[in-house]
Structure 1
Amino acid sequence: METNNNSLVEYGSRRIIITAIAVVCAMLELIDTTIVNVALNDLRGNLGATVNEISWVITAYSLANVIIVPMTSWLSQQFGRRNYFAISIIVFTVCSFLCGNSTNIWEMVIFRFIQGLGGGALLVTSQTIIAESWPREKRALAQGIYTLGLVIGPAIGPTLGGYLIDNYSWPLIFYINIPIGILATILTIQYIKSPRYEQKRPASQVDWLGIILLTVGVSSLQYVLEKGQDDDWFSSKLIIFLTVTAVFGIMLFIWRQLSYQYPVVELRVLKNTNLRVGTILTFLLGFGLLGTTFVLPLFTQSLLGWTALQSGVLLLPGTIFVAFIVAAVSQLIQRGVSSKYLIVTGMIVFFIYGYWSHNLLTLQTGSANLFLSLLVRGLGLGLLYVPVTAMSLSTLEGKEIAQGAAITGMFRQLGGAFGVAIISTFISRQSQQHRVALVSHLNANDPLVQQRINQLIGQFRAKGYDLQNATQAAYGVLESSVQKQSTLLSYMDVFLYVGVLFLVCVPFVLIFVKQARSKVSLADAVH
C-alpha cells in the first residue's frame, strides 16, 4: 500500500508497532556488530582458522556495512521502502542461519559480508521510518527512541554473546536472529508504507559509475582502518595502495555525485546547515564513544582477567540509565530547550567521564568504581546522541530525510572505524613509549629492584626451580609487570585525550549549532 508523503505520519497502535519494528531491527544490526567479538576464539577452533583469518569475520561485516549504508536511500527508491526494508531483514535473517551452519572460515566470511549488506540497510532505514512515522513537532522524541537502539545494541551484544558461548555453543549467536527476523518481516509487510516520492529510476539513469567509485573508495578506506595497525600501516605496500585508492576513489565519487543529475548518494542535501553540523558531530560521536567503548573491555579482560560475560554485564546498568536520560532529554527538546546547550553539556560530561576514568584505572580497580563512572558516561551519551540525531534531520522533509539519514549513518560508521583504528595504534605505540620509560627506572643496582628480584627468585626456588631457571622466571615476572603497567598507562591516556577532544569541540558547537538552530526556528515558522 502506497500513500503520499503527508500520510506517512502514523498514530495510535500503528505508530507503536512501526517504531518497535524499526528499533528492534536497528538493535539486531548493532548487536550482530559486537556479539561476534566474544566468540572469535570458539569460531577459530571450530572452523580451523588462523588469527588473521578469523578477523575477517568482523572485517567482512564492517566492509559490507560501510558500502551499503550511503546507498540505502537510493536502493529504497529503487525497490520501494517497504520492499527494501523487508528484503534487508530477510537477507540478514537467512545469512544468520547460514553463518551458524558454516563449515569453514571462508564460508563464514562470505555469509557475514552478505549479512552486513542486509544489516547496514536496517540501521539507516529504521531511522528514516521512525522520523517519518512521527509528526514533525515530536521528531526529537522519535529520534530519542531510535537512540535507545543505538546505545543498547552494542552494550548487550557482548553480554548476550558471552552468555551464549559460555552456556551453549557459538551457532546460537547467529540463530537468535532468526525468530526475530521472521516476525519483523511479517510486521514490515503489514505495517510499513512506501512514500510516493520514491519513484524507481530507469536503468539508463542509474549511477553505475558512482556505485563503483563508492564501493572501491569506501571499502578501501574501511580495510585500511580495520587492518592498518595489524600490517604496521605504511610499511605495508597493500595499505599504501589501498590508501591511495581510497583517497582518489572518494574524491572522484564526491565529484560524480555533485555533477551527475541522478546521483546514488545525494550529497547536495548537505547544504542544510542542521544536517551538515549534525553529520560532523555524528562522526565525532562515533570516534569518541565507540573508541572508548572498545577500550573498556580490553582493560577489564586483558588486565583484570574478567570474562567477556563479566565485561558485558558491567555495561548493562549504565545502558539502562541511558534509557532514562534519553527520555528526559527528548522531553526537554520537545519543550524548547536548545539542542546546542544540551550538546555542550553532554560534551563537558563526557570530558568529566574521560578525566575520571584516566584517574580511576589501576590494576586493582573494582566493578563498583567502574559502575559509577559508567553512569556518568550514560549521562553524557543521552545528552549527546538525542540532540545530535534529532537536529540532523529536524529541518528535512520528504525524500531528504532518507538521504540525510544515509549520510549521517555513513559518517557514524566511519567515525567508529577511525576511532578504533587510531586508538588501537595509539595504544600500541603509547604502550611501547611507557614501557621504555618504566624500564629506564629499573636500575639493576637499585636495592629495591634487587630486593624484588631476590624475593621472586626465592619463591621460584621454593617451587623446585634451580637457580638459573628461577632467575629467568623472576625476570619474566618483572617483564610481565612492566608490560601490564605500560598497557594500563596507555589506556588511561586514551580516556584523557578523548575527553579533551570533546572539551575542545565545545566552542565549535557554541558557534555553529546556534546558526543551525536559527534555521530550525525559521522552518518551524513556515510550517
Structure 2
Amino acid sequence: MKNSLFHEPVPDWLEKICIVLLVCSQIMVSGIPSNAIALVTSFLGDEKDTIQFIYYGGVIGSACAYPLIGRIMRYFRKRQLLLICISLELVLLILSAFTRNNLQLFLCNFLLSSVKMVCLITCLGIFLKKFNPSNSRGLLYGIYYALSFSLSQLYSYWVALILQTYSWKYTFLISLPGIFISFLIVIFLMHSRRMEKKYPLYQVDWLGYLLFVAASLCLCFVCIFGQRLEWMNNDLIRFMSAAAIVGYILWTIRMLVVKRPYVDVRVLVKYSHVRVGVLLMVALFFVYNTFSISTEFMKVNLGYNDPYVAATNLYLIIPFVIFIPVTGIWLHKVHRVRESLFVGFALFAVYYLYTARFFYPEENSNFFLIPMVIRGAAYGISITSLSYYASVNLPAADNSHRAFFSIISRSVIAAPITSALWLDRFNYFKQKQYDIVSAQYGMDDYRVSGLWKNLVSGHLKAGSSLEQAEQLAHGSMHGMIYKEALILSAQNIYYVLAAISILLAIAALSLKVLNIHYVKEKNKYPLTYMDV
C-alpha cells in the first residue's frame, strides 16, 4: 500500500490488527507501577518516598522525551527506530528486574519511560494515519484516551494480582508478550524504506533538555519529601525549591535566546487558548488527583487489599470506553468545548458530594460502582475536551511545542504538586479530627467505659495477660478513633473539592476565551510526528 510502513502483500485487515497490537503493547510497557511502590521499598530497604521519587523520575523521563521525538523520528527509518526502541525496552525491563539499589532502578525507570514515549508516539502516528485519516482532533483524543486509560487500569489490576503472590520484579514480565509480538510484526511485516527527509541529531538542544529534567526532579523532590522534612523548615527542601525555581528560569531564558530551542515557549504567549488550556489542565488535576484519600479509606476502614482496590478501580473502564469516545465525536462534530467542560467539572462536584455522604465503614465494593463511573466520566470528558481545545487552530510547527506543555502541565507539574497538597491537608485534618474524636472517648462516658471493658475481657478470654489485654484494647480503641477521624477528614476535603468543582464548572460557562472559532484549513495536518 502506498505510503504504508507494511509490505505490499500484507492485507489491510491484518495491517489494522498489527497496528492496534503495536499501540496496545506500548501502552502496557511500564517501569515501576504505582501500586508496587511499597513492595519495592521493602525489597531495596529504602524509604517509600525514595521509591516514589524514582517513580516520578519515569514520569519526567517520558514527558521530557516528547520534544526530542520529531528529530529522532526523522533521523532513523521508522522500521529501524521501532526495532531499536523495542529492543531497548526489552533490555531495560530485564535489567529493572535485577536492580540492587535505588540508583540502578532510577536509571532503568527513567530510560525505559523515555524510550517508551518515543516508541508509543511512533506507533500512535501509524495508528492515526490508518484509523483517523481526516486528522480530526476530537476523534484522535476520543480514540486514544479511551484505549490508553482503560488498558492502564487493566495493567494496574494485573500488577496487583501478581504482587499478591510473587515478587514485585515479576510485574515487569507483563509487558514482555506484547514486546515480543511487536518485535515479530516489525521484523516480518514492515519494510525499511525511508519515507521523509533525514535530519541530523546534533541540532538537538540537549542542554535545554537536561535543564528541564533537573528542574523537574528538584520540584518532585520537594513535593515528595516535603511533608516528612517539614517543608521550608528544612535546609534541603529550601535548597531544592530554590534549585527548581532557578532551573525553570534559566531554562526559559535559554529557550528564548537559542536558535533551535528544546521547546519554543513563545507558544504560550502567541496563543491564548494554549495558555488557558494549560492552566485548566492544572485545575483539572487539582480536583482529580485525590485517589490516595479513597484508597486509604478502602484499605483502613473497609479492610481491602491491593487487588481488591485495583478491582474497584476497574469500574473506571466503563465511563472511559463510553464517555471519552462520545466526547470525541461531539468535539469532532460541533467543535465546542464549553458545554463538555461544564459537564465534566459539574460531574466532579456530583462525585465529591455523593461520595462524601456515604463514607461509612459498613459499605461494600458495590457502593463504589456509581461514584467510580461518575469520576471516570468527569475526568474522561474534561481531559478530552481540554486536549482538543488546546490543539486546534495552531500551525503545524507550533503544535509539538503546545503538546509538550499540555503533557508536562498535568504529569510533571500538576500531578506531584496536587498529590502533595491533598496528602498534606488530609494528614492535617486527620490529626485534627483524631484529637477531637479522642476527647469524646473519655472513660466518664458509660458507653466508652463499657466498650473498654468488653475489649479487655475479650483479650483476657483469648489467653492474654492483663497488661497485654489492656495494650491490645488500647490499640483497638486507637484504630476505631483513627477510622472515624479518617472518614471525617475525607468528608471535609471532599466538600471543599465539590465547591471548587462547582466554581470551575461556572468558569467553563463564563470564560469567553473558551469559544472556538474552528478553521478547518488550519487543522488538516496530523497531530503526531508521524508523517508517513
Deviations 1:248-277 (A, max 9, x none): 111121122123221101222232333332
**Contact 1:216 1:249 (8 Å CA) reproduced:** yes
1:145 matches 2:143: yes
Equivalence for 2:27? 27
**Contact 1:144 1:386 (8 Å CA) reproduced:** yes
Please give the secondary structure, in 1, of the residue aligned with 2:149. helix
Deviates more, 1:19-28 or 1:63-72: 19-28
Q: Counterpart amino acid of 2:212?
A: L
2:161 aligned to which of 160, 163, 177: 163
Deviations 1:116-160 (A, max 9, x none): 332344566666666666345632112111112442244223311
Equivalence for 2:418? 419
Please give the secondary structure, in 1, of the residue aligned with 2:213. helix
Deviations 1:441-472 (A, max 9, x none): 23332222222222222223333444444333
Equivalence for 2:64? 70
Equivalence for 2:480? 481
Equivalence for 1:370? 368
Greater per-residue helix proportion = 1
Please give the secondary structure, in 2, of the residue aligned with 1:171. helix
1:520 Cα deviation (Å)? 4.9
Output the CA distance in 1 between the equivalents of 2:192 and 2:56: 27
Change in Cα spacing, 1:193 to 1:58, as seen in structure 2 (3 Å) is: farther
1:346 Cα deviation (Å)? 0.9
Equivalence for 1:355? 353
Change in Cα spacing, 1:379 to 1:261, as seen in structure 2 (3 Å) is: same
Change in Cα spacing, 1:104 to 1:79, as seen in structure 2 (3 Å) is: same
Change in Cα spacing, 1:349 to 1:406, as seen in structure 2 (3 Å) is: same
Change in Cα spacing, 1:148 to 1:262, as seen in structure 2 (3 Å) is: same
Equivalence for 2:530? none
Equivalence for 2:240? 242
Change in Cα spacing, 1:444 to 1:346, as seen in structure 2 (3 Å) is: same
Equivalence for 1:470? 469
Change in Cα spacing, 1:295 to 1:153, as seen in structure 2 (3 Å) is: farther
Q: Counterpart amino acid of 2:475?
A: G
Deviates more, 1:511-520 or 1:153-162: 511-520
Deviations 1:410-463 (A, max 9, x none): 112132222221122122111111111112223332222222222222223333
Output the CA distance in 1 between the equivalents of 2:83 and 2:433: 51
Deviates more, 1:374-383 or 1:103-112: 103-112
Change in Cα spacing, 1:114 to 1:334, as seen in structure 2 (3 Å) is: closer
Output the CA distance in 1 between the equivalents of 2:499 and 2:19: 36
**Contact 1:279 1:408 (8 Å CA) reproduced:** yes
Equivalence for 1:218? 216
Deviates more, 1:365-374 or 1:466-475: 466-475
Change in Cα spacing, 1:512 to 1:88, as seen in structure 2 (3 Å) is: farther
Output the CA distance in 1 between the equivalents of 2:319 and 2:210: 43
Change in Cα spacing, 1:216 to 1:107, as seen in structure 2 (3 Å) is: closer
Equivalence for 2:45? 50
Please give the secondary structure, in 2, of the residue aligned with 1:266. coil
1:321 Cα deviation (Å)? 3.2
Output the CA distance in 2 between the equivalents of 1:343 and 1:137: 22
Q: Counterpart amino acid of 2:495?
A: L
1:192 Cα deviation (Å)? 11
Q: Counterpart amino acid of 1:20?
A: V
Output the CA distance in 2 between the equivalents of 1:409 and 1:20: 23
**Contact 1:128 1:402 (8 Å CA) reproduced:** no
Output the CA distance in 1 between the equivalents of 2:143 and 2:375: 18
1:356 Cα deviation (Å)? 1.0
Q: Unaligned stretches of 5+ in structure 1?
A: 5-10
- Provide the identity percentage: 18
Equivalence for 2:528? none
Equivalence for 1:117? 114
1:369 Cα deviation (Å)? 1.0
1:451 matches 2:446: no
Q: Counterpart amino acid of 1:94?
A: V
Equivalence for 2:529? none
1:389 matches 2:374: no
**Contact 1:72 1:125 (8 Å CA) reproduced:** no
Q: Counterpart amino acid of 2:45?
A: T
- Superposition pairs of residues 306-325 of structure 1, within 5 angstroms: 306-325=304-323
Equivalence for 2:35? 37
1:227 aligned to which of 225, 228, 233: 225
Output the CA distance in 2 between the equivalents of 1:15 and 1:389: 28
Give the TM-score normalised by the residue count of structure 2: 0.85
**Contact 1:3 1:193 (8 Å CA) reproduced:** no
Output the CA distance in 1 between the equivalents of 2:99 and 2:81: 26
**Contact 1:14 1:191 (8 Å CA) reproduced:** no
Equivalence for 2:7? none
Q: Counterpart amino acid of 2:443?
A: A
Deviations 1:273-313 (A, max 9, x none): 33332222222333432x22333332212332112111111
Deviations 1:347-379 (A, max 9, x none): 101110111111111111211111121111222
Output the CA distance in 1 between the equivalents of 2:164 and 2:389: 42
Output the CA distance in 2 between the equivalents of 1:410 and 1:375: 26
Change in Cα spacing, 1:487 to 1:123, as seen in structure 2 (3 Å) is: farther
1:92 aligned to which of 89, 97, 114: 89
Give the TM-score normalised by the residue count of structure 1: 0.85
Deviations 1:319-346 (A, max 9, x none): 1332022222222222216221011111
**Contact 2:219 2:241 (8 Å CA) reproduced:** yes
1:95 Cα deviation (Å)? 0.9
Change in Cα spacing, 1:399 to 1:132, as seen in structure 2 (3 Å) is: farther
1:233 Cα deviation (Å)? 2.1
1:161 Cα deviation (Å)? 0.7
Deviates more, 1:252-261 or 1:428-437: 252-261
Q: Counterpart amino acid of 2:28?
A: L
Q: Give aligned pairs, total.
A: 512
1:87 Cα deviation (Å)? 4.1
**In angstroms, what is the RMSD of aligned CA positions?**
3.5
Q: Counterpart amino acid of 1:257?
A: M
1:93 Cα deviation (Å)? 2.8
Deviations 1:79-115 (A, max 9, x none): 5274666544433332111112335555434322322
Change in Cα spacing, 1:156 to 1:236, as seen in structure 2 (3 Å) is: farther
Q: Counterpart amino acid of 2:250?
A: L
**Contact 2:146 2:325 (8 Å CA) reproduced:** no
1:496 Cα deviation (Å)? 2.9
1:241 Cα deviation (Å)? 0.7
Output the CA distance in 1 between the equivalents of 2:499 and 2:126: 35
Output the CA distance in 2 between the equivalents of 1:212 and 1:523: 33
**Contact 2:347 2:374 (8 Å CA) reproduced:** yes
Output the CA distance in 2 between the equivalents of 1:490 and 1:127: 42
Output the CA distance in 1 between the equivalents of 2:2 and 2:520: 31
Q: Counterpart amino acid of 1:295?
A: I
**Contact 2:395 2:522 (8 Å CA) reproduced:** no
